[in-house]
Amino acid sequence: MLGAALAPVLMAFYAVERAAQGPFRAGRYAVAVWLLLVITVGLWRRGPNHRPLTAVAVTVFGALYAGWLPAFAILLRHPVAGPASGWRVGMALLFFPLALTWAGDTAAFAGGTAFGGPKLAPVVSPNKTWSGAAAGLFATIAAALIYAAVVFQRVGVAVGLGELLVLGAAISLVGQLGDVAESLFKREVGVKDSSALIPGHGGVLDRLDSLYFVLPVTALLYDAFHLI
């Protein structure tokens, strides 16, 4: 809980200092202090005979996975180095990966249900098929083109056709990878759903697992294309 709550704060530090063109000092030291606290608490609560290293490793991984990865949304929402600025641009850049991920997930489910075929990951996630993955890929790329024409042009964000194709394909591929990865985590701990908060949908984490992988990759590509 501490790690997941702290990671977005550290990303906010990064966004603010980046906007001010200042050195990334506060976030750097905060990460070091947080890691020392995690190690200290793990040793104190468990002792040498109750696998403190495992506890620390799981805590750090949980913070990075559930806190740091989605915190990249802060960088998408607050672009500071791109050709355009303003809250409309930030919202457009943020909702782009969200819209594409949801479109791809919907198309993958519909395509897999309609066409079936060979399983994508039969051991980890037996309901996913190659036909669904292909449908998700094409739908995500199509959604990227539509979003650019409807939203990006309106707010003044210029993205080339090649860049849109790369963004669409990357978001689809890493989104599906994130979905499979979360299924693997559930298999390891022997649970079917991550929680009972959303009955029939596998829990809250199942609604966000793709975005955990999509957001940092989108931020990386935005940076490479000089959009943020």
pTM: 0.76
Q: What does residue 127 show for φ and ψ, rounded to 5 degrees?
A: -85, -10
What pLDDT sits at residue 142? Answer: 96
91: which 2 tokens? 């919202």
Residue ranges in the chain modelled with pLDDT below 50: 21-23
C-alpha–C-alpha distance, residues 132 and 120, integer Å: 9
Q: Partners of 64 in the beta sheet?
A: none
All structural domains of the chain with their residue ranges: 1-68, 82-228
User: Distance between CA atoms of 127 and 112, rounded to whole angstroms?
Assistant: 8
Per-residue confidence (pLDDT) for residue 114, from 0 to 100: 87
Residue 221 structure tokens: 């590509």
- pLDDT of amino acid 40: 76
C-alpha separations of 65 from 62, 81, 130, 215 in Å:
5, 26, 26, 12
Q: How confident is the model over 64-84, as pLDDT tens digits?
A: 887 788 888 888 888 765 555
Residue 129 forms beta bridges with which residues?
A: 119
- pLDDT tens for each residue of 207-225: 778 889 999 999 999 989 9
